[in-house]
Structures are given as C-alpha cells and as structure tokens.
Amino acid sequence: MATVVAFHAHPDDETLLTGGTLAKLAAAGHRTVIVVATDGHMADLDGRKAVRLGELEDSAAALGVARVAHLGYADSGHGAVLYADPPDRVRFARADPEEAAERLAAILREENPGVLLSYDRNGGYGHRDHVRVHEVGKRAAELAGVSRVLDATLPRESYTRLVRLLERLRIPLRYDPATLATLYSPRSEITHRIDVGPFAAQRKTALSAHRSIIEGSSRFATIANALLHLPTPILARALHWEWFAEEGAAPPSNTPLDDILQPAPR
Ligand SMILES: [Zn+2]
C-alpha cells in the first residue's frame, strides 16, 4: 500500500483540486495525508483555535484522510496588498521558503510518501500562497528524497469554457479576462486524469464541512454553493475528473494516465 501526501495552501483547497483522488486512494486502502501551509485566517488568532483547521479535519474525515498537518503560517490573502504579519505568526508568502520547505520535509520524512501532490507553477489562478505551495513543495520533495511530485491543476481550456458558461449564467466571478491565458496548465502538460465521479458524495460532504467559507461571499463560496445545490449525480458529472501534471515527465503523447500511483514516462 502506498502513502500519498497532498500539500495545500488553505483549508478548503483540498476539496476541489484533490478531494476525489484522496477519497479514491483511501477507498483502495492507501494512506493519505493532507498538509496545509496556512490555517486560512488573515488575522491574529489571539489564542483562539483556528476555526478553519477544525473544518479541514471534518473535510478530511469525509475523504478518508488518515492525518492532517499544518505548517503554522497565516493566510497571505489574494488582494493587491500583502498585509503585515499578524502578531502570532508569519504569512506564508513572507516566510523563508527554505524554512517552510524544511517544515514540510520533516513531515515527508515521517510519512515517506511515494507521491507528493502539490500545485502547478501558476498557483492555479495565481494566489500568492498557491504559487508558494508549488515552490515549497518542489524543494521539500528534494530535501526529503520524494521522487514523484504531481502538480494538481486543471486543463486551462476547460476552465476557460467553465468561466464563459458561468458568465452566461450571470454568476459573478470578478475575473480579469486577461488572466485566463495563464491559469492552471495547458492540456498538453497534463499527465494524469483521475476519474473521481464515484466519489461525488464524499466530495460534497467535504465541501460542506467548510462552513465558515460557504457562508461568506468569496469567489470560492459562490462556486461551492452552486456545486452544493446540484443533486449528487449531476455533481458527479460536473466534477468527473481531477487533473495532475507530473514534474519532470515527458509531455504525454496520448490519453493521460488514470492512476496517480503509475509514474508518467520521463
Ligand atoms: Zn487556497
């Protein structure tokens, strides 16, 4: 049985990028671990428990994840301004990358995973914490000797189509159309495409565990609420796949692999 560690920026990122793959691995008897860089809070916690880490625990339980770990950083936010650090912790975007990689590498040495799931170099839609996950994930894998890193991503072409569809349905996404050219990964770089349709109910439970986010007005809340209102069979069709690009692999010449434990040709 294999161990797979999924490295994410914030609680909730695990659900739509890797939730089905993690549930599928767990259902097959593999050990899965989620590591989040940040607790998802912008402000001073002032001794209070980070609410979003608790929600992540509930989400992870729905996905059959064996362990959840946090690297101890604060959310850096996605706006134009990178705010000063809260008094009790450093924002991930301002952390020393080598120190952050060492914190992740310490967990990787304990878990000895066959695969580390990380993010593409664009950090998906460009959130500074997501870009940093790509860099820190890659470095931590080197430090801990994890030989396979798969970047969780989306085929840019599909994402662009989805954005256009949501625009037609008048679901506001507040997108700068120019950013569509650099979102996620071109289809030509995708090495793995995992069929996660059968795990739609678990992903729905995982998504709904992030209560503090869903009740808000963020872009993620808009998308999550739209998805949670779909009947599970429709959700299974809408979120049928999860996509990965293996670091160091040759560009795939045909259909992507459907098992992340199977290495892409180099
Ligand atoms: Zn995030």
Residue 12 alpha carbon to ligand 1 centre in Å: 7
The pTM of the whole model exceeds 0.85: yes
Residue 59 alpha carbon to ligand 1 centre in Å: 15
Q: What is the pLDDT of residues 196-244, one digit of tens each?
A: 999 999 999 999 999 999 998 887 898 899 899 999 999 999 889 999 9
Confidence (pLDDT) at 160 = 84
Q: What is the dihedral of CA 31, 224, 8, 68, to 10 degrees?
A: -40
Question: How far is the C-alpha of 205 from the C-alpha of 219, rounded, in Å?
Answer: 19
Confidence (pLDDT) at 120 = 96
Residues within 5 A (CB) of ion ligand 1: 9-10, 13
Residue 253 alpha carbon to ligand 1 centre in Å: 31
Question: How far is the C-alpha of 105 from the C-alpha of 126, rounded, in Å?
Answer: 24
As a whole number, mean pLDDT of residues 53-68 equals 98
Confidence (pLDDT) at 175 = 65
Q: What is the pLDDT of residues 152-199, one digit of tens each?
A: 999 998 888 877 887 888 876 666 667 788 889 999 999 999 999 999
Buried/exposed 54-82: b ≥16 CB within 10 Å, e otherwise: ebbeebbebbbbeebbbbbbbbbeeeeee
Residue 126 alpha carbon to ligand 1 centre in Å: 10
Confidence (pLDDT) at 164 = 82
More confident residue, 134 or 219: 134
Residue 46 alpha carbon to ligand 1 centre in Å: 22
77 Cβ contact partners less than 8 Å away, ≥ 6 residues apart = 42, 83, 91, 128
